[in-house]
Amino acid sequence: MSIFEVRHLSKRFGDLEVLKDISMTIEPGEIVSIIGPSGSGKSTFLRCATLLETMEHGTMKYQGNVVCEERPGHGAVYAPGRTLKKMRAFFGLVFQNFNLFPHWTVLKNIIDAPISVQGRPKEEVLAAAKALLKRMGLESKADAYPCQLSGGQQQRVSIARALISKPQIIFFDEPTSALDPELTSEILKVIKDLAAAHMTMVIVTHEIEFARHVSDRVIFMADGVIVEQGPPEEVIGNPKHPRTQAFLRKLSHADN
């Protein structure tokens, strides 16, 4: 069964239709990159998927569990709050700006939600957090505050914070856009390690080369629709749609 499934998603902000009839399924272990110009609706799509925004139309499921369902005349009807709360444990979201809680230590940032939201035993969570910190190379930073860390370290903490809830899928919203090139590679390495461990991931990114290397599938979005999708060597290596070609050409010009 697919981990994530969305059908005929549409979303508008006032008169502006940001997402138009988006459908997508993500299979277990799959790594999908979403690329596209600013304002193409990539981030809004991620925000709909992670319940930060509600969509007007469409059906969305996590592992077959209905988050919202299209009903004729009503649009997308969401499941009751209790169900949604449970659903939040299915996914994790890594933000562009990390959004760590500044008044808590690194360790507290990671362990608080599993303990006080999911009600997991403290000892088990602590052990898991220590293992995650080790995996992220941050063992020595457990008692530091976010403001004492570099951007790359903060982003690694926020990835650990997402991982500790044992999500079935993790969404990354431009995880390196707030970082300089050196720190970017630090985060990309973490994501590659997760890929090697078969974590299911959806990554919105501007790092085209990275998307080419890490993903099983690349989705190109523009103006609220999925223009083209497929294996990276096709979408990035040999794009068929003129819109994709124009976008990639502009990027390579910007690089030179």
Partner 1 sequence: MKWSRLSLILIRGFNVIGLLVAGYLFTKLMISSIDWEWLSSILIQLLKGFGLTVAIFGFTLLFSMPLGMALCNVRMSRLKILSWPAKLYISIMRGTPLMLQILIIFFGPYYVFQFFNLDISLSDAYRFPAVIIAFSLNYAAYFAEIYRAGIESIPIGQYEAANVLGYSRLQTFFKIILPQVIKRTLPPVTNEIITLTKDTSLAYAVACAEMFTIAKQLAASQSSMAPFVAAAVFYYIFNFVVAYVMERCERKLNYYQ
CB burial string 162-190: b at 16+ within 10 A, e below: bbbbebbbbbbbbbbebbeeebbebbbeb
Is residue 163 helix, strand or coil? helix
Other CB atoms within 10 Å distance of the CB of residue 18? 21
Q: What is the size of the binding site for partner 1 (CB under 8 A)?
A: 26
Residue 92 or 239: the one with the smaller Cβ distance to partner 1 is: 92
The CB-of-162 to partner 1 minimum distance in angstroms stands at: 8
Q: Does 145 bind partner 1 (CB under 8 A)?
A: yes
Q: Confirm or reject binding of residue 147 to partner 1 (CB under 8 A).
A: yes
- Smallest gap, in angstroms, from Cβ of residue 45 to partner 1? 15
Decide if residue 161 touches partner 1 (CB under 8 A).
yes
Told to check if 80 binds partner 1 by CB under 8 A, we report: no
Q: Could you tell me which residues are beta bridge partners of residue 25?
A: 5
52 binds partner 1 (CB under 8 A): yes
Smaller CB separation from partner 1, 110 or 218: 110
CA 211 to CA 215: how far, in whole Å?
Answer: 6
- Min dist CB 255 to partner 1, Å, is 29
Position among 22, 32, 55, 100 found at the interface with partner 1 (CB under 8 A): 100
Q: CA angle, corner 171, sides to 169 and 172, nearest 5?
A: 145
| Rounded CA Rg of the chain | 18
Give the CA diameter of the chain.
55
Helix (H) or strand (E) holding 32: strand 31-35
Handedness of CA 45, 50, 51, 57 (dihedral sign): positive
Least separation in angstroms between CB 72 and partner 1: 29
Could you tell me which stretch among 34-42, 141-149, 187-195, 242-250 binds partner 1 (CB under 8 A)?
A: 141-149
Check residue 165 for interaction with partner 1 (CB under 8 A). yes
Q: How far is the CB of 170 from partner 1 (least distance, A)?
A: 11
Nearest-approach distance from CB 93 to partner 1, in angstroms: 5
d(CA 126, CA 6): 35
Output the smallest distance, CB 116 to partner 1, in A. 7
Q: Which residues bind partner 1 (CB under 8 A)?
A: 50-52, 85, 88-89, 91-93, 95, 97, 99-103, 112-113, 116-118, 145-147, 161, 165
